[in-house]
Chains A and B, each alone.
Chain A
Amino acid sequence: NAGVTQTPKFRILKIGQSMTLQCTQDMNHNYMYWYRQDPGMGLKLIYYSVGAGITDKGEVPNGYNVSRSTTEDFPLRLELAAPSQTSVYFCASNKGPQSSYNEQFFGPGTRLTVL
């Protein structure tokens, strides 16, 4: 199993550009998440999905959109990139609802800089 994979690893965007961060998992997990991690800060939840066709906002959804057309894929779309979106983005998945019994697996992250 490859686990959770993310592309690209690094990206530099200009202000106002758009891009999609890709996330794929091959563990047949229903639950998927997008987080951002700013320097010296904890991970903040952007969006999450509990299954194909179902998405919901997290703590910091503004400026982002997601879709979940398949169990495996959960892309994150940035429209009109802003410097405040410079961050490291982690995709994660787990089998069921968050609990002591469902470990959350993370992808390797995408480092995004908006200039």
Chain B
Amino acid sequence: RKEVEQDPGPFNVPEGATVAFNCTYSNSASQSFFWYRQDCRKEPKLLMSVYSSGNEDGRFTAQLNRASQYISLLIRDSKLSDSATYLCVVINDYKLSFGAGTTVTVRA
């Protein structure tokens, strides 16, 4: 089983829609969790950390479910500029493990 698994998508949504997707992780002792954003052929950039109680950053909401070992990302009121691949990242023993990414395409 992979350490971090994501639905690759693509999720194709109209502007203004809400889109949500999950990421599962295999190591129950994982310490920290993040969502990174990667635009086509560019480097990953940190979108947000994921905290135990869940957290919001503008239109983005991240949740952590330790019992079921998954994290989620919800994007409200999607913009064209949200089109990207979203990478789930999990820290174990101070090393990052990356998911393969979920691709989101927002259409006009």
Contact = CB atoms under 8 A, between A and B. Distances in A.
A106 B47 CA distance: 13
A98 B46 CA distance: 13
Interface residues of B, number: 23
Majority secondary structure of chain B interface residues (helix, strand, loop or mixed): strand
Contact of B94 (A98, A103, A107): A98
A35 B98 CA distance: 10
Contacts of A35: 98
Interface stretch (A14-22, A38-46, A63-71, A75-83): A38-46
A99 interface: yes
A108 interface: yes
B98 A99 contact: no
A45 B32 contact: no
Contacts, number: 50
Majority secondary structure of chain A interface residues (helix, strand, loop or mixed): loop
Contact of A97 (B42, B44, B94): B94
B59 interface: no
Contacts of B101: 42
Contacts of B57: none
A90 interface: yes
Contacts of A99: 31-32, 91, 94
Nearest to A43: B98
Interface string A15-56: 000000000000000000001000011111100100000000
Interface of A: 35, 40-45, 48, 58, 88, 90, 97-100, 103-104, 106-109, 111
